[in-house]
Chain A
């Protein structure tokens, strides 16, 4: 009676069944939304989706899946050293995957592609730039002026300190660029809000601001005003799918760390029963294969098919 597999393996498979349904919800929703949105951003120059990074990540996960199987075979054959080495290799490849993912995410953050933060109309892009240039100067104001209840008070204090005769020349030299930057930013913002600036002109004026020798560096973090229709849908689905997948990779790495420790204990106490630690490795191997399986579907759906 009963299934010819250990309870832990059955439990793992039941869990994997729920994980498949979990990712199905996310991926299925993405597919459905993609086909329902005619202006989904597909140009790689806009979405910053790099097929090469995706392909390398696919290869990394496939290699790590292969090495898990190698580790399990070695452990079952009694070769603990080889098994542990293969598990270390799986761990390292998992870190490589996360590293490449981190580089991709940084690219997205640098271009302001975040759910809810993407401008979908020219007016939204202009408003975003208007508030971003003023906000870009505020950390410098807060750092230079102490006291004051909020940044607007500190702005006034900055102005009065500059006019004050008692302020030293060094201090005035420190404060003047911040004041100039703040004035330029506020002028830019007021022009945008008054409707005097079109999108292309806003790009030019922002470039001029950034090129100013005295204070241009303060505006380094302000993004080019770009309009991405349906950009927020794209950002939401992208980060949900790849984010949850990355969380699963991190959990997998923790499990493999525990596995490496358990094999280490086996090596140091040879009379210990090997059955449970090896079964543990088989179970987390199954989990890791599922993580690989999800990526096998994510890669074409995110990197290859959009824009086809």
Chain B
């Protein structure tokens, strides 16, 4: 059985904090609609910070990790390393724009891009 020498945390208070944080992130979305945020980076940072805070509350209190031993670091370290490392590894190929992009088609700006219209041209039967 798990070690219960510590006092039980107030789980309802944790739940309340999680609800407040959810309301905050929904409010941030609404506030963005009112044009409150001039900086896109700030809004993204705030929303991600709220999500991280909620995740840490669940991990520490509901999943009881605050009161567990040092094995939690051994377990989570490779997981978090991969979690951050995999998107970073994929970014150069899929995310970083080396060329100027045409916002309408997503293709390379100025390049000839015609959609494949072979179905219409061949007049395939229905």
Taking Cβ atoms with an 8 Å cutoff, the residues of A that contact B are 3-6, 9-10, 13-14, 17, 20-21, 24-25, 28-29, 31-33, 35-39, 51, 55, 58-59, 62-63, 65-66, 68-70, 73, 76, 120-121, 123-124, 126-127, 130-131, 134-135, 186, 189, 192-195, 229-230, 275, 279, 282, 285-286, 289-290, 292-293, 296-297, 299-300, 303-305, 308
Since A36-B95, A292-B62 are in contact, a sample of 12 more A-B pairs with Cβ atoms closer than 8 Å, ordered by chain A residue number, is A5-B2, A6-B1, A17-B78, A21-B83, A24-B86, A62-B18, A69-B11, A134-B126, A186-B126, A275-B1, A299-B25, A300-B50
Number of A-B contacts (CB under 8 A): 155
- Pick the residue among B14, B55, B59 that contacts A297 (CB under 8 A): B55
| B25–A304 touching, CB < 8 Å | yes
Give Cα A145–Cα B78 distance, bound, in whole angstroms: 63
Mostly, the B contact residues are: helix
Say how far A221's CB is from chain B's closest CB, in angstroms: 16
Roughly how many angstroms separate A73 CA and B15 CA in the complex, as a whole number? 15
Could you give, for residues 34-72 of chain B, a 1 whenever the CB lies within 8 Å of some chain A CB and a 0 otherwise?
000000100110011011001100110111000011011
**In the complex, which residues of chain A have a beta carbon less than 8 angstroms from the beta carbon of B119?**
127
Q: Which of B28, B51, B105 sits near A296, CB closer than 8 Å?
A: B51
CA distance A51 to B32 in the complex (A): 13
Contact indicator B83/A131 (Cβ below 8 Å): no
Pairwise interchain contact A66-B62, C-beta atoms closer than 8 A: yes
Contact digits for B63-101, partner A, Cβ 8 Å, 1 yes 0 no? 100001101100110110011001100110011110001
Q: Does B106 contact A (CB under 8 A)?
A: yes
Residues 102 to 125 of chain B near chain A (Cβ within 8 Å): 102-106, 115, 117, 119-120, 123-124
Assembled-state Cα–Cα distance A124/B24 (Å): 41
Give the contacting residue for B91; candidates A32, A66, A69, A126; CB below 8 A.
A32
- Chain B residues with CB under 8 Å of chain A are 1-4, 8, 11-12, 14-15, 18-19, 22, 25-26, 28-29, 32, 40, 43-44, 47-48, 50-51, 54-55, 58-59, 61-63, 68-69, 71-72, 75-76, 78-79, 82-83, 86-87, 90-91, 94-97, 101-106, 115, 117, 119-120, 123-124, 126
Selected from A9, A126, A299, the residue in CB contact (under 8 A) with B120 is A126
Q: Are B83 and A300 touching (Cβ within 8 A)?
A: no
Q: Are B28 and A62 in contact (CB under 8 A)?
A: no
Task: Verify B87–A305 contact, CB threshold 8 A.
Answer: no
Partner of A130, one of B28, B40, B126: B126
Chain B residues closer than 8 Å to A31, beta-carbon distance: 87
A-B contact pairs, 24 of them (CB 8 A): A5-B2, A32-B95, A33-B94, A35-B95, A38-B102, A59-B19, A62-B19, A65-B58, A65-B62, A66-B12, A70-B11, A73-B11, A123-B115, A134-B126, A186-B126, A193-B123, A290-B63, A292-B62, A293-B58, A293-B59, A296-B58, A299-B22, A304-B26, A304-B28
What 3 pairs across the A-B complex have the smallest Cβ distances?
A28-B87, A66-B15, A24-B83
- Asked whether B29 lies within 8 Å of A66 as measured between CB atoms, the reply is no
